[in-house]
Amino acid sequence: MSGGIFDWDNAVIRLDEVEHLAQDPDLWNRPEKAQTLMRERTQLTSAIEGVRKLETELSDSIELAELAELEGEDELVDDAVATLQKLATLVEKMRIESLLSGEADSNDCFLEVHAGAGGTESQDWAQMLLRMYTRWADRRGYKVEEMEESPGEEAGIKSATVKISGLNAYGWSKTETGVHRLVRISPYDSQARRHTSFASVGVSPVVDDSMDVELEDKDIRVDTYRASGAGGQHVNKTDSAIRMTHIPTGIAVQCQNSRSQHRNRAEALTMLKSRLYERELRMREEQAQAENAEKSDIGWGHQIRSYVLQPYRMVKDLRTEFETSNTDAVLDGDIDAFISAALAHRIGGDEDQAEAS
């Protein structure tokens, strides 16, 4: 990558260098460095193979279209044109992906969902959002690991954190940070009235050894509590869950995915470092709006996307104006079009700022 644009010649040269470094028998004595190198190799290999496959399919489709046109095979011409249209969509996706050149874009990420004010309504909406992102991650072949979940009193969740692992997990999901608004006929209202609910989403990159995040013990408060569960034999009978708070910023994280308090503490520390690193990234990238989404009210005025199920059906991103009426598909995880539009919008804004300066 060079300046956020895929540089073919340098990518091929760098892949050769990485392959050579990967042959070093001492590499795995430094596991963090080895993992970073392997991630770079996967990223370069995927990009290079993707371009080569695209070139082959493009050449074949053009050749097929030309031959079919000469032979008067209209059906084959239509097939070739349809393939070219699909390739054009793929090219745009690859263009967006090539622009994921931020220092943490290739990393795994933590994704948090918090219900807004409104009790059961918002808590149900928070669970719907969590399901949407889990389905989205599954579609992309990412691994999803639950770190913490606080169930609602009647239904839904108050909050939840998952770890999403896979190439460019943070880069693809970082624009989802913000407040999401739902309008629907409430299934919990006996009078079937229309309700508006809010939930916030926060995304932070999983830190690695290349990211310098300084934390002092005096700035961290650690609380233990009993992990919540479904009841019965699965109830955690020890205070193994960890809540870790960074006192200077007020940023707090929770982890309860293990029965081991030691492991939960280690995971919570990683999550806290990730949140602090994401905060620093955001302060650098968005100096005009240098505040955490979690510090904003989860309500009107801070939304990034509206999901309207009644009186009409529409999902609309308020930053890009991108919208669709296929609400069922979106809530089932089909959100790549929204993410691509948000990334293009964000990158475009960065480029405009660079030109202006």
Which residue reads 């895929």 in tokens? Answer: 6
| pLDDT for the residue 5 | 46
Of 98, 121, 152, which residue constitutes the final position of a domain?
A: 98
Confidence tier at 172 by pLDDT (50, 70, 90)? very high
Residues 236, 190, single domain; the answer is yes
Closest CA to 201 of 131, 108, 140: 131
C-alpha torsion angle, residues 126, 203, 275, 149 (rounded to 10): 30
pLDDT above 70 covers a percentage of the chain that reads 86
| pLDDT for the residue 230 | 47
Token pair for residue 109?
Answer: 């990420």
The DSSP code sequence of 310-336 is SSS-EEEETTT--EES-HHHHHTT--H
Host domain of residue 45: 8-98
| pLDDT for the residue 233 | 40
User: C-alpha 351: how far from its chain's center?
Assistant: 22
Helices (H) and strands (E) in the chain, counts: 8, 11
User: C-alpha 176: how far from its chain's center?
Assistant: 7
Residue 61's CATH number: 1.20.58.410
Residues 6+ apart with CB under 8 A from 254: 147, 148, 150, 159, 161, 241, 242, 243, 244, 268
CB 142 within 8 A of CB 265: no
1 within some domain: no
103 within some domain: no
pLDDT tens digits for range 137-153: 999 999 999 999 999 98
104 within some domain: no
Of 98, 133, 152, which residue constitutes the final position of a domain?
A: 98
How large is the average pLDDT for residues 207-231? 77
The more confident residue out of 313 and 6 is 313
| pLDDT for the residue 163 | 96
pLDDT tens digits for range 239-275: 788 999 999 999 999 998 888 888 899 899 989 989 9
Residues 206, 139, single domain; the answer is yes
113 within some domain: yes
Q: How many CA atoms lie within 13 A of 62 on its CB side?
A: 8
Residues 327, 346, single domain; the answer is yes
Residues 87, 163, single domain; the answer is no
Confidence tier at 61 by pLDDT (50, 70, 90)? confident
Residues 179, 268, single domain; the answer is yes
91 within some domain: yes
Q: What is the mean pLDDT of the chain?
A: 83
Residues 166, 43, single domain; the answer is no
Token pair for residue 19?
Answer: 């392959």
Of 30, 65, 98, which residue constitutes the final position of a domain?
A: 98
Residues 170, 290, single domain; the answer is yes
301 phi and psi angles, rounded to 5 deg: 90, -10
The more confident residue out of 231 and 270 is 270
pLDDT at 18 exceeding the cut of 60: yes
96-100, 167-171, 292-296: which has the highest mean pLDDT? 167-171
Token pair for residue 332?
Answer: 């089932």
* Lowest-pLDDT range of 101-110, 113-122, 299-308: 299-308
pLDDT tens digits for range 280-339: 887 876 664 444 444 445 554 478 999 999 999 999 999 999 999 999 999 999 999 999
2 within some domain: no
Residues 139, 286, single domain; the answer is yes
DSSP structural state of residue 5: B
Residues 40, 138, single domain; the answer is no
| pLDDT for the residue 292 | 44
Amino acid (one-letter) located at 279: R
Amino acid (one-letter) located at 282: R
CA angle 94, 97, 103 (to 5 degrees): 155
pLDDT above 90 covers a percentage of the chain that reads 39
| pLDDT for the residue 326 | 97
3 within some domain: no
pLDDT tens digits for range 189-201: 778 788 899 999 9
Residues 6+ apart with CB under 8 A from 40: 14, 18, 106
Residues 6+ apart with CB under 8 A from 190: none
How large is the average pLDDT for residues 337-346? 88
Residues 78, 119, single domain; the answer is no
pLDDT at 86 exceeding the cut of 90: no
285 within some domain: yes
- For the chain, the domain total comes to 2
* This model's pTM is above 0.75: no
The more confident residue out of 179 and 227 is 179
Residue 143's CATH number: 3.30.70.1660
Closest CA to 203 of 226, 181, 248, 171: 171
Residues 246, 151, single domain; the answer is yes
Residues 262, 340, single domain; the answer is yes
